Amino acid sequence: MIVAIGPGAVGGFGIRAVHWRDLMGDLLRIIIAILIPPLGVFLTVGLRGPFWINIVLSLLGYVPGIVHAVWVIAKRS
């Protein structure tokens, strides 16, 4: 178990416990998002709005798709 300081704790900002499994899952999704941004978003949120936004951003440019994908993964974790 890892202790992380940041958003997501009880009451907003504080200390929360993060398991190795969750951390490795997020790391794997970020690596996938760098290679194929829509797949990383799909693995995080499914076929919801952020996935379709990422498809459009990836079609407009590779870098906007990566930035959005990493942001979605970090926000959902």
For the chain, the domains span 21-76
CB-based burial, 31-47: b 16+ in 10 Å, e otherwise: ebbeeebbebbbbbbee
- Give the model's pLDDT for residue 18: 64
Q: State how far the alpha carbon of 27 is from the alpha carbons of 19, 32, 33, 74, in Å.
A: 13, 9, 10, 10
Identity at 36, one-letter amino acid code = I
pLDDT by 10s per residue, the chain, length 77: 554 555 555 555 555 566 767 788 889 999 999 999 999 999 999 999 999 999 999 999 999 999 999 999 999 86
Torsion angle defined by CA atoms of residues 40, 44, 47 and 48, in that order, rounded to the nearest 10 degrees: -120
